Structure 1
Amino acid sequence: MYFPSLILLATTALAAPLIQRDAASILQAITNIENHITTLNNTLNTFNGNLLTTIPTVLKIEEQTAELGDAISAATDAANLSPALSETDSGTVATAVVTLVPKIQSLLSNIIAHKNTFDRAVLGIGSVSPQVEQDLQTQSKLSDEFSGALIAKLAPDYAALAPLITNQISAAFQNAVKIFATSGGLFHLPAVQGLGEFEELLKNFLHLR
């Protein structure tokens, strides 16, 4: 007896437009990115090459990296769904991005600082740098997409200046990718797609040993 109501509800939901976002949604998304950066940085600071904890920490880093990527994608969605921002809102959002830049640079510097640890993450001799390189390339692409979506909604004066900021982020990613393009260690594990495949790769390798 409830079928007609359910059908009407479903039809209405499908026909409804996407909820429009605004500057507040973009700012919240940027804050979310910052929180994920802090979490990942904290985990990296515990990544010391201890054979008993290295593999679990590598998996944790991979998981948190994926979560950071999701946060960046959510910020891109918020920007895409937002109307054009006013001068005032553009200034507020631009300030938030300026504050975000050194945090991104700090994270990338921290990742680079642990290059040797990534290069001996497997049994003290095997490298997972190819996976890190792939993750960095993915994060860089997501960052570029967010930058593009955001610039498209900024007021003209702010949009014109935005590349001065976003180019700093791109340069930092390019530097990190370049550093991880070369693997150390006696051997390296290949990069795979997704946390599940990466975890399975590590398990299979360790089982074979």
Structure 2
Amino acid sequence: MFRSLLFGLFVASLAQCSVIKRDAPGIVASLNAISSQLATMNSTLNTFPGGAGNTLVALQVQGEAQTLLDTINNGTKVANQTGPLDVNDSALVVDAVLTLQPNIYGVLNHIIAAKPDFDTAVLGLASAAILVKSDLTNLKNSTDQLFSATVSKLVTDIQNLAPLVQALVDLYFVEAINTYS
């Protein structure tokens, strides 16, 4: 009786424990999804017509920024649910991050260049800059959270180099945010 009770408690406690998996492919898939969303955003930014026609494009960019934010937040959840990665898995994740970086820079540079278009985005009469700045701030904060969650899973040697990568990404975000301030 005591033995079956003890076994039952053991099984119940195991059921309450979450299984932490090493999921480099999940993190990589999340980073690839972010990269794809950035490509979509960059393509949309290429369609700014100028003047009153900017309203629809600005709304589309706003929607895509929200989708990107959701994708980044999902990536953070995936990274948080992942256990520590070994050297090979860490290398896969680093490769995905290095592939993602130019896409981040490209979109942020494009957003900076599109400032005049966003300044007349509301029916050709008013600025959407405050919305862009808010989106950029939210995206930066979420990107920082994703970066932190992902880096915490990598092997120590790579973790030590990560601040350099994050500093570069943050520099681009700060420049874009300042453009809209």
TM-score bracket, shorter-length normalisation? 0.7 to 0.9
- 8 Å CA contact retained: 2:51, 2:120: no
Give the structure 2 partner of residue 138 of structure 1.
138
Give the structure 2 partner of residue 28 of structure 1.
29
- Following the alignment from structure 1 to structure 2, what is the Cα–Cα distance between the partners of residues 120 and 38? 24
Can you give the 5+ residue segments of structure 1 that lack an aligned partner in the other structure? 1-13, 182-209
Q: Which amino acid aligns with 1:155?
A: V
Q: Secondary structure at the match of 1:124?
A: coil
- Following the alignment from structure 2 to structure 1, what is the Cα–Cα distance between the partners of residues 137 and 82? 27
Note closer, same or farther for the CA distance 1:84–1:21 as it changes in structure 2 (3 Å cut): closer
- 8 Å CA contact retained: 2:41, 2:61: yes
- Following the alignment from structure 1 to structure 2, what is the Cα–Cα distance between the partners of residues 123 and 54? 7
Q: Secondary structure at the match of 1:127?
A: coil
Aligned-residue RMSD, C-alpha: 1.6
Q: Which amino acid aligns with 1:101?
A: Q
- Following the alignment from structure 2 to structure 1, what is the Cα–Cα distance between the partners of residues 22 and 81? 5
Structure 1 length-normalised TM: 0.76
Q: How does 1:64-143 map to 2 (within 5 A)?
A: 64-143=64-143
Which of structures 1 and 2 has the larger relative contact order (alpha carbons within 8 angstroms, sep 6+)? Answer: 2
- Following the alignment from structure 1 to structure 2, what is the Cα–Cα distance between the partners of residues 15 and 155? 28
Q: Which amino acid aligns with 1:28?
A: A
- Following the alignment from structure 2 to structure 1, what is the Cα–Cα distance between the partners of residues 147 and 44? 26
Q: Render the CA deviation track for 1:96-130: whole Å, top value 9, x for unaligned.
A: 10111111000000011100000011232310101
Q: Which amino acid aligns with 2:36?
A: N
Can you give the 5+ residue segments of structure 2 that lack an aligned partner in the other structure? 1-14
- Following the alignment from structure 1 to structure 2, what is the Cα–Cα distance between the partners of residues 16 and 158? 29
Using the aligned pairs only, state the percent identity.
34
How many residue pairs end up in the alignment?
A: 167
Q: Render the CA deviation track for 1:175-195: whole Å, top value 9, x for unaligned.
A: 1000100xxxxxxxxxxxxxx
Structure 2 length-normalised TM: 0.87
